[in-house]
Copies of this chain bind each other. A is one copy, B any other.
Amino acid sequence: MSVTIYDVAKRAGVSMATVSRVINGSPNVRPTTRKKVLKVIEELGYRPNAVARGLASRRTTTIGVILPDISSVFFAELTRGIEDIANMYDYDILISSSDANREKELSLIGSMLERQVEGILFLGGHLDDAHRRLFKTANVPVVLVATEDPEREFASVRIDLGRAAYDAVDFLLARGNERVAFLTYPLYSPMARARYAGYVEALGERGRRVEEHLVMETHPYYERALKAMATLLALPAEKRPTAIFAASDELAIAAVHAVQDAGLSVPDDVEVVGFDNTRIAQMVRPMLTSVVQPMYDLGAVAMRLLTKFIRQEPVESRDVVLPHRIEFRASTRPRVGTP
């Protein structure tokens, strides 16, 4: 079998407790003793068993991350923020994709709790009562990240999606756009609905009504969106949108290309605004104006908040709303008074 703390103790002529102290950097060890123990550890190639330590100490230094899909640029970037902070605080992260599937989410939460994670980060989903119940019986802290929870029951880090969408649409309306379309992935997603709410509000604020045919609900991927847009652009000029607010950058890029394919110009004939400001926003021509969602920061701040809960440090706010803004690029016409 492999080398244990006991083997080290015996060989070094000290007790297990002393070896444990050395491993854990306790100051209560005479330097000569420490040196001796360290030497034996080296010789034997001893490696502490974190599982045994976790059982004895009830601290696993592990946190669980549940997200819809690790292969999505948005969540991958967010995860990187989580990771970097987790690293700073010496936590490892257990990651699982849920495909935004409720049953899978619930089973993942259960599995993470069995693994004695010290905290859970739940990303981008939709909470129902089962989630809430599980989280409440968890007796480890939970932080929602980029997740819409109308109840505001759990600690959460997010941007104000509705407000962000409002700002984008209002910007488009303010500059005289007659018909602003909303290109979105399915509205059963709470994240899509939050954006939609902002869209509706912005229109209402200016005395406009939502025109059914301008709300294009499609799939989250480029190909499908491209086709959906083609239909929309085939309309006669007086019904065709003059601007498009897309729920993601990928959708926005599809919009740009669809407009171009229709022989029209972005931004002269149709303006386009994306969402998230992912790397790809700069990789299209014209480059995309996009609502910035600070993905890395969302992850980093959430993880930091979680460490505070774990260490029982005081927390200013349990509902952290990060600022959003619009990054203006060439898919919208230059703003007045802005070079």
Contact = CB atoms under 8 A, between A and B. Distances in A.
Interface of A: 2, 45, 47-52, 54-55, 60, 62, 69-73, 76-77, 79-80, 83, 87, 92-97, 110-111, 113-116, 137, 139, 222-223, 250, 253-254, 257, 260, 279-280, 282-285, 296
B73 A80 contact: no
B114 A49 contact: yes
A39 to B, nearest CB: 18
Given A60-B51, A97-B83, A116-B49, A250 B71 contact: no
In the complex, the count of this chain's copies comes to 2
A114 B55 contact: no
Given A80-B97, A116-B49, A139-B2, A282 B223 contact: yes
Contact of A70 (B79, B115, B116): B79
Contacts of A96: 83, 87, 92-93
A270 B280 CA distance: 23
A116 B260 contact: no
Given A76-B71, A83-B70, A94-B92, A114 B260 contact: no
A330 to B, nearest CB: 12
A254 to B, nearest CB: 8
Nearest to A114: B50
Nearest to A60: B51
A250 B250 CA distance: 15
Contact of A115 (B92, B97, B137): B92
Given A76-B76, A80-B70, A47 B2 contact: no
